[in-house]
Structures are given as structure tokens and as C-alpha cells.
Amino acid sequence: MPKFKYTAIDQNGKQKTGSVDAASQDEASSKVSAMGLMPTNLTQAGGGAASAKSQKTAKAKGKSAGFSFGSVIKPEELTTFTRQLATLLQAGLPLLRALEVMIRQEKNLRFKACLEQIADQVKSGNTFSDGLLQHPKIFDRLYINMIKAGEAGGVLDVVLSRLAGFMEKAQRTKKKVKSAMVYPIVVVGVAVSIVVLLMVVVVPKFQTIFDDMLDGAALPGPTQLVVGISNFLKDNILISMGLIVALVFCVKFLLRTEMGSKGFNWCAINLPKVGDLVTKVNIARITRTFGTLLSSGVPILQAITITKDITGNIFYTNALTRIHDAVRDGESLSAPMARESVFPDMVTSMVDVGEETGELSDMLNRVADNYDEDVDNAVAGITSIIEPIMIVFLAVVVGFIVIALFLPIVEIIKQLTG
């Protein structure tokens, strides 16, 4: 029987490694889960014909099990599924029966196939979370761990309802931030289009006039700059587009490096107005995720680890790592959190009160609610200053081009009147 090496997270948030004997990758994953661990990586050990055959089988099964579904399942579809499944369970339907109802009404064929495979797992005697583990591109660690906690506590319907509420609020916050970015992107796009049009179409016509009227006389400095840029864009369209594409790829590559990511994240939380919005969004996401996990019965260390994984800003990720280590060593949650500058005093004070009263999860969710409301104000604040900034930017750029084009005309008028 093939041997599979695994890397997993235990209930205390510690990483464990080992190996299990299993006929397939699915069976290996189920065995690791049965040990109270959450597998994060499974690889088959050894070689030879038997090993190659097992890998081929696992690959085919993995493909049919929906490992390629992640890109076609929208967050809204997953949220709707979670909410409806919670409603069916709360109405008294058994899990398998509820899944069958969801399968019949699901219109996304790939998601439907995924749900059918999960239902087969449940029908075979495995847990719901075991079925979800086979589709990591659809169901993330937060989702699976909350389901495991719900199954362990016998409150799967309650946990699904909390999870649906969490996902709905997270999507609302995400849409607020996206809506705030639409306006500046449109304005910047219009501004760039106008500048390119002036450079490629208008400036060359003025250049022809200057060549005819000034008899080869030197153009003013600003005019030479504008004409030079115009000639480059006009004569090197492919090179210009290539430079833009290269710049985009360079920025993406830089952001993937530790130094580039750290620099970008530092700017994100320190820029005026923008930093305020980024901070509020991160605090709301962290406290909402952490509070939801704790209220669902996930152990605190494991909850911190999962929360750390969903945080996009490296400064918050590092802060949560240090908090995790401090809590593991016996400290309370509020003490190490107070030492981290990325968490405002109000948040640490609320966490401290929650620990003292034994209502930490409720307190964290209240903090998240407060910061969700603050996100609205932050978005409104950014939107209010974007318009004048963009107008001034466009006026300066277009104004410079216009002035540069009119300087030679002044010289032409002087020659004509002289």
C-alpha cells in the first residue's frame, strides 16, 4: 500500500508532519483528519510502478473531485449555498437530504458535481468536513475548520448560519472598497486617454506648423519636451506598449518579494486617508474572522493561525504570529495585542474586557461591526478628496501641454508683427 507524507496543523495551531499508509490521496486525507489534524499538504512517498499507478489514480480522482473548480465558483454562490444549507438543517432535514436538495437546485454544473462528490462522502460514512477537504480551492481553511467545530459540537446548522453571516458581511465590506476604487480608476483612465490623444494626434499637427513657420528655429524647452515625447509615442507604439507591460510585470514581481511586499504594505497603512481605510478594513476582517471562529468552537491558537492566513498585510500577519506565540506560551490575548502598534488601543481594550467577562467572541464581533461602519466613513472621505486631486492633476498635465504648444505660437506672432 502506498505511503503518503503529510504536513498538518493540530488543534493548538502547531505544525505536524508524518506519514500514513493509504490506497489513495483521499483516503490519506481522511486518515490524517481522523487523527484530529488538518492536512495542509499531502505527497506520495516512494516510486516504482505501484507508486506511479497510485499517483495516476489519485490525480484522476482529484480532477473529478473538483480541484479545478476553484476558479469558477464565485464567492456569492458559496455564500448562497451556505445560507440555504443552514436553513435546511435548521428546518430539521438530515445533512444528506439537505445536500441532495441543494444538488437538485444548483445550476452551476461544476459546483453541482462538487456537491455530488461531497454527498457521496457523507453517504459513505465520512463527515461533511472530510468531503469539503477534497475541494480546497472552493472551501478554505476557515470554512472547513468551522464545519469541523460545528460537527464536534453538534451545532452544524448554527455554525453554517454564522459562517454565512460572516461571508455576507465580508463581501459587503469588499464591495464598499471596490466601489471606492471605481471612480478614481475611471478618472485616471479618462485623463490618460486625453493625454495620449493630445500627444499622438494634436501635438504632431502643431509640430508641422512650427516647422513651416519658424524656419528651423529652436523651440522653447517645454515645447521640445512635449514634442519629443509625442514623437516617441507616435513612432514607437509597440515599444511603448511593451514598456507598459514590462512595468506591470516588474511591479507584480516586486510585490511578490519580501522587500517589495513589505514596502507596499507599509505605504498602504501609512498613506493619508488610504492608510486609515486599509487599517479599518484589516481590523474588521481580523476581528470578524477571529470572533466567528471562537464562537463556533475553534480553539484559540488554531483560530489565530487561520486568521493570520486570511490577512493580506504583512504587518498584521507578523503581529498575529507574535500574538500566537505569546498566547501559546501562556499569556492572555490582550497583553501581546497591546504591544502591537497595528492594533488601536480601543481594540485591545475591548479584547481585554471580553477576556475578563468571558465573552471574547461577542466582543470581537462588536469591534468588527464598529469598524465596518467606520469603513463607510473612510470610503466617503477618500472619495471626497479624490475628485479635486484628479481634477488638479489633469489640469496640470493638460495645462503644461497647452502652454508648451502656445509658446512657439507667441514667437510666430512676434515675427509676424515685427
Distance CA 240, CA 333 (A): 53
pLDDT value at position 353? 92
Beta bridge partners of 9: 15, 38
Residues in the chain predicted with pLDDT less than 70, given as ranges, are: 9-15, 26, 38-41, 46-72, 215-216, 415-416, 418
Question: What does the pLDDT read at residue 187?
Answer: 77
Alpha helices in 198-313 (DSSP H): 203-213, 221-235, 237-256, 258-270, 274-295, 300-309
Say which amino acid occupies 291: G
| Distance separating alpha carbons of residues 99 and 92, to the nearest angstrom | 13
Confidence at residue 296, expressed as pLDDT on a 0 to 100 scale: 80
Cβ distance 123 to 98 under 8 Å?
A: no
What is the domain partition of the chain in residue ranges? Answer: 3-64, 70-139, 159-418
CA angle 309, 14, 361 (to 5 degrees): 60
**In sequence order, what are the beta bridge partners of 21?**
3
CATH superfamily ID and name for 70-139:
Type II secretion system (T2SS), domain F (1.20.81.30)
How far are the Cα atoms of 41, 199, 212, 258 from residue 205, in angstroms, in the given order? 63, 10, 11, 48
**H or E stretch at 6:** strand 3-9
Q: Is-contact 123 108, C-beta < 8 A?
A: no
Does residue 130 sit in helix, strand or coil? helix
Grid cell in block for residue 273: 486617508
Examine domains 70-139 and 159-418 and report if their fold is the same: yes
Enclosing H/E stretch for 96: helix 95-105
User: Which pLDDT score, from 0 to 100, does residue 416 have?
Assistant: 67
User: What span, in angstroms and rounded, lies between the C-alpha atoms of 222 and 400?
Assistant: 8
CA 372 to CA 17: how far, in whole Å?
39
Rounded to 10 degrees, the C-alpha dihedral 285/287/293/299 comes to 130
Cα 365 to Cα 79, 129, 144, 169, 340, distances in angstroms: 19, 25, 20, 11, 20
DSSP structural state of residue 161:
H
Longest C-alpha distance within the chain, in Å?
100
pLDDT at 400: 87
Identify the DSSP state of 10.
-
Beta bridge partners of residue 45, listed in sequence order: 3
With 0-12 / 13-18 / 19 or more C-beta atoms within 10 angstroms meaning exposed / middle / buried, residue 191 is middle
- Strand pairing report for 15-21 and 3-9: antiparallel
DSSP string covering 56-74, please?
A: HHHHHHHHHTTTT-GGGS-
Residue 93 phi, psi dihedral angles, 5° rounding: -75, 140
CA distance 307 to 141: 10
Contact 307, 13 (CB under 8 A): no
159-418 — its CATH code?
1.20.81.30
Instruction: Give the residue among 224, 205, 201 at the shortest CA–CA distance from 213.
Output: 205
Order of strands across the sheet with 3-9? 15-21, 3-9, 38-45
Residues 6+ apart with CB under 8 A from 325: none
CB atoms within 10 A of CB 61: 15
pLDDT at 72: 62
